[in-house]
Amino acid sequence: MVTFINWLNGEVEISGSDLNFHVTNIPNFVSISDFSEDDQVQIVNHLKELFERYVDESFCQFKTNCEAQLENSQEKKALITKNIQQITEILNGDIHFTFERFNCSYWEGISFDHQSYKMIVSFYVRHIEKGHTINYFFLQNENSPLYQSTLKSHPFIYSYSIWKFKKWLENYLLCHYEKGTDLEKARFFNKLLEFKESDLKILKNEGCFHFLCALVEKILVNEPNSNNTSFIFRKFLLENFFFKPQIPQIDFIEYLNNRFGFDIPPVKLGTFEKKINNSIYLNLKEKFHWVN
């Protein structure tokens, strides 16, 4: 039986891999079923890691180019909006060919023929929009005789990369030019939400504020409801994390809505408690052990 190491060293290649290459040293071809189940998992995970690395490299290049343009642009919002529109047109299949190949003016040096463009669109629709599992066997490991660096600009890589870049552009637009909450802006810039003196009207100190931010992101962002709000309120009340011992519930709700951009109704808080919330709280409490 062949092994993951045989495949990783380029000694064998899996049937069905992309063979659009001219190579002289053709490896022995085997079926994925020729590997043990554990080795099959290792192969898929390795190809997935390659895919994610190529996507990240491509995305980072797009982002770097964009940031360089933004630095000197007098129309930053228009530039961002234009690129979002262009990527949307590409992924939706709205590009009409006037020549043999499709050239994207924003990303220099990248062009696709008709068939490759169809692959870009189909990957987006099938795997990003509809959520089907990605088959990574269009890739080869980097020790394979079939491997060529052009894989990094494969239509599937390109499709996922520009979609990821589009999400970055949309976040940039939200945080700079549209109504974005302080929490959304902090997450976009990968930093802690900035502490303000006004937070001390509700909370005991800055440490309590950052602990609350962590809880908000883990618990309230996806489900900003009365039960989850009640859970945090009761915990903070017991831990004496508030500015004063008996803060009204309605004041806490108003604070959350104003500070984090929620729309939690000012009603009596629920009493139902999810076990997962308590687990999240205890795990975060260990990380914020310095809070007092």
Q: How far is CA 99 from the centre of its chain?
A: 35
What residues contact 247, with CB distance under 8 A and at least 6 apart? 202, 237
For residue 292, is pLDDT > 60?
Answer: no
- Residue 36 reports pLDDT greater than 70: yes
Per-residue tokens: 67: 């940031």
CA end-to-end span of the chain, whole Å?
Answer: 59
Residues 169 and 206 in one domain: no
Reported pTM: 0.64
Report how far apart, in Å, the C-alpha atoms of 4 and of each of 15, 44, 140 are: 15, 10, 13
Residue 160 shares a structural domain with residue 202: no
Q: Which two tokens stand for residue 89?
A: 């047109």
pLDDT attached to residue 101? 63
Bridge partners for 191 per DSSP: none
Residues 17 and 75 grouped into a single domain: yes
Please classify residue 234 by burial: count the beta carbons closer than 10 Å to its beta carbon, then call 0-12 exposed, 13-18 middle and 19+ buried: middle
Which structural domain, as residue segments, surrounds residue 157? Answer: 4-177
At 255-288, the pLDDT tens digits run 998 888 788 887 655 555 566 677 777 777 776 6
Residue 21 has pLDDT above 50, yes or no: no
Report how many domains make up the chain.
Answer: 2
Give every CB contact of residue 176 below 8 A, 6+ residues apart in sequence: 76, 77
Q: What is the pLDDT of residues 164-216, one digit of tens each?
A: 999 889 888 877 777 666 777 776 666 667 888 899 999 999 888 888 988 88
Quick one: 36 and 163 in the same domain? yes
Q: Do 137 and 214 reside in the same domain of the chain? A: no
Residue 279 domain-assigned (yes or no): yes
Do 161 and 277 fall within a single domain?
Answer: no
- The verdict on 152 and 228 lying in the same domain is no
**In this structure, are 224 and 159 located in the same domain?**
no
pLDDT (0 to 100) of residue 176:
78
Q: What is the pLDDT of residue 75?
A: 92
